[in-house]
Amino acid sequence: MAPARICWLRSAASVLCRDIPSPCPGSEIAAMNVVTTTDGLAVLCRQLANSTYVAVDTEFMREQTFWPKLCLVQLASPDVEAVVDPLAEGIDLAPFWELMTNRAVVKVFHAARQDLEIVHVATGTLPAPVFDTQVAAMVCGFGDSISYVNLVKRIAGQDLDKSSRFTDWSRRPLSQKQLLYALGDVTHLRKVYTSLKQTLESSGRAHWLDEEMATLLDPATYETLPEDAWRRLKLKVRSRKSLAVMIELAAWRERAAQSQDVPRSRIIRDEALYDIASQMPTETKQLAELRTLSDGFARSARAREIVDAVNRGLARDPTTLPAINQSSGSSSDVNAMCDVLRVLLKATAQRHKVAPRLIADADDIEAIASQREPDVPALKGWRRELFGEDALRLKRGELALTVQKGEVVAIAVPKVGERG
């Protein structure tokens, strides 16, 4: 049996071809080094499975859909690299999904959240183990959410051409420029990964990243349950009745968007949901009075569905609604405390050379300032040791901030009777 010829694109400047025996004819990487057959993908994944890690990236489209449409997969181990076309006729991605769950191989991504979502939607599982270089870079002091381009520049000294970033990845054939751009998203990732991994190990912060990856690999992160859809909305309602209505409206929209595979905004915009939840119309004709809805919407088929959702919300037992955290102070006190906590956060991040947003985000700061018993990431694990404990002490008046040698530092406040 003649061996299948598989060409591995080594860089933008050179191509290395190898003969690899294949059990089936036609198992090949076609022109431009794109895997287009199931047999070719199986050969590739067997090669990659022999490595300790594989760099992974995907190109996808979701502007017109609810679920991401996978258009390209890029893979690279220390000595193998290739591009996979998931839109090729007849290709079965089973070997790729199997590689993603091979626990002997670390899967390296940059900003992994959406890539992991694609795997979860397709298989119901998540890749493991995973190393996210964007998160690792934040732990290593490269700033908040550093881009892949900037990280490659700082670690590998390479300038990347990102002009193909916003092209239509679902259109075929793909150009050589697109393929070279796509492959570059994993070839340079190898050096980034090895550099960050070494830094984490030498600094003793590897367990910080482990905590972050545990959150990233929690299946709950990727579940799109309609009854929880309201939690992603940024707008806030003013009453518990409005909250009940918002929960029902968001769930209705989520089901409609999923079933029709369209973006949520195609069903109805967030602003309109908020408007409806605030006004709580119980008849379709009342929808005509809302400025956030288009003329004639009250006569549409969705108008009846919306009113039904409103009525379901109004009929809900208040005891089934989520608990509302009680504020521990006035609005002005909370705002002032947020300001002070942000100063402490910035000083802590600078002292430990870690991105501030990795320690605590705006929601964490507001919760610590306003709630009696906040349940936020900043008060758990290494974050609590680094920042959270001091934040709580600052809030209780046990710490004060001062400036020493040009740096903000926290100092203990003497207890009553201890002051000299």
Question: Which residue segments constitute the domains of the chain, with CATH numbers given?
Answer: 4-222 (3.30.420.10), 226-320 (1.10.150.80), 331-412 (1.10.150)
pLDDT at 102: 97
Strands (E), 3-129: 4-9, 15-20, 29-30, 34-35, 53-61, 69-76, 81-84, 106-109
pLDDT at 165: 80
Radius of gyration of the chain (CA): 26
1 pLDDT above the threshold of 90: no
**Would the pLDDT of 329 be above 60?**
no
Please, which residues have CB within 8 angstroms of residue 242's CB and are 6 or more apart in sequence? 277, 278, 280
Whole-angstrom CA distances from 325 to 15, 113, 228, 237 are 60, 29, 18, 14
Map residue 268 onto helix, strand or coil.
coil
How does pLDDT run across 274-291, given as a tens digit for each residue?
999 999 999 999 999 999
Q: pLDDT for 3-42, tens place per residue?
A: 333 343 333 333 333 333 333 333 333 344 789 999 999 9
Residue 106: name the closest of 128, 125, 126 by CA.
128
Instruction: Decide if 6 contacts 17 (C-beta within 8 A).
Output: yes
Q: Which two tokens stand for residue 364?
A: 């964490």
Tokens of 137: 């870079």
Q: Go through the chain and tell me how many residues it has.
A: 420
pLDDT of 298 strictly over 60: yes
Q: What is the side-by-side order of every strand in the sheet holding 53-61?
A: 29-30, 34-35, 81-84, 69-76, 53-61, 106-109, 130-132
Q: What are the tokens at 418? A: 């201890």
Q: Three-state DSSP class for 74?
A: strand
Greater model confidence, 163 or 357: 357
Per-residue pLDDT of 331-383, as tens digits, reads: 888 999 999 999 999 999 999 999 999 999 999 999 999 998 899 999 999 99
Structure tokens at 43: 């050969």
Q: Please give the average per-residue pLDDT across 112-123, as a whole number.
A: 95
Kindly report the average pLDDT of the chain as a whole number. 88
Sort 407 into a burial class: Cβ within 10 Å, 0-12 / 13-18 / 19+.
exposed
Q: What is the pLDDT of residue 420?
A: 52
Backbone angles phi, psi at 229, to 5 degrees: -60, -30
3 state SS of 291: coil
User: For residue 410, what are the contacts with CB-CB under 8 A and spacing of at least 6?
Assistant: 344, 347, 390, 393, 394, 399, 400, 401
For the residues 212-229, what does the mean pLDDT come to? Answer: 91
| Mean pLDDT score, 315-324 | 82
- Distance from C-alpha of 227 to C-alpha of 55, rounded to nearest angstrom: 35
| pLDDT value, residue 419 | 53
Q: CA-based diameter of the chain, in Å?
A: 92
User: What is the pTM for the complete model shown?
Assistant: 0.81
pLDDT tens-place string over residues 78-115? 999 999 999 999 999 999 999 999 999 999 999 999 99
| Cβ proximity of 133 and 151 under 8 Å | yes
The answer to whether 149 touches 133, Cβ cutoff 8 Å, is no
